[in-house]
Structure 1
């Protein structure tokens, strides 16, 4: 298994960036690879499950493992066929804006293939 960590900083306040994570209806607005999130819950919570649909029509199942609204962190597992990846997200204050990080654990090839899309999404997450 491999581990990849990505970071991005921008002028959005930490609360704005966190709300973009916490409300799954907002994901498609900053994550260009996401078309829709299919889940009963519309707000991140531990145990939440569903599927993420990509703009290419690919659906990946997910389960949210942990959410800490106060610390602005959350962790989830995503499954696409036999590929399983754990993703841990954080939002922190930095200067007059926010920095976000994503640490992914899983098979090396899928992590490196997904990294450019994830990096773009993280940069968009922290823009005002």
Structure 2
């Protein structure tokens, strides 16, 4: 297992960036690889589960492990077949904008393959 941490900063407020995470209906607006999220709950909460569908039609199952709205952090596990990733997200105010980070745990090859797409999504998350 490996660990990779990515960060991005932008002009969006921390509240705006957090809302883009907290409302799963917004995920496709900033994450270019997500087409839709299939789940009953529409806001992040611990125990929430469902599938994330990519623009290529690939569906990965997920479970949200933890959400702290006050600290603007959340952690989830995503599984595609036998591959599982654990993803921890943080949003912090920085000056007039925000910084977001993503720490990913999983198989090294999968993390390094996914990192460029994740980095693009993070940069889009923090744009106004």
**Shorter-chain-normalised TM-score: which range?**
over 0.9
TM-score (norm 2): 1.00
Unpaired runs of 5+ residues, structure 2, are none
1:1-80 superposed matches below 5 A? 1-80=1-80
Counterpart residue number, 1:108 = 108
Unpaired runs of 5+ residues, structure 1, are none
Quote the offset at 1:10 in angstroms. Answer: 0.1
Counterpart residue number, 2:119 = 119
Deviation >6 Å, runs of 4+: none
Instruction: Give the Cα–Cα distance (whole angstroms) in 1 for the partners of residues 118 and 19 of structure 2.
Output: 18
Counterpart residue number, 1:87 = 87
Instruction: Give the Cα–Cα distance (whole angstroms) in 2 for the partners of residues 112 and 80 of structure 1.
Output: 16
Instruction: Give the Cα–Cα distance (whole angstroms) in 2 for the partners of residues 53 and 114 of structure 1.
Output: 15
Instruction: Give the Cα–Cα distance (whole angstroms) in 1 for the partners of residues 68 and 114 of structure 2.
Output: 25
Quote the offset at 1:95 in angstroms. Answer: 1.1
Per-residue CA deviation, residues 73-93 of structure 1 (Å, 9 max, x unaligned), is 000000000000000000000
Per-residue CA deviation, residues 51-97 of structure 1 (Å, 9 max, x unaligned), is 00000000000000000000000000000000000000000001110
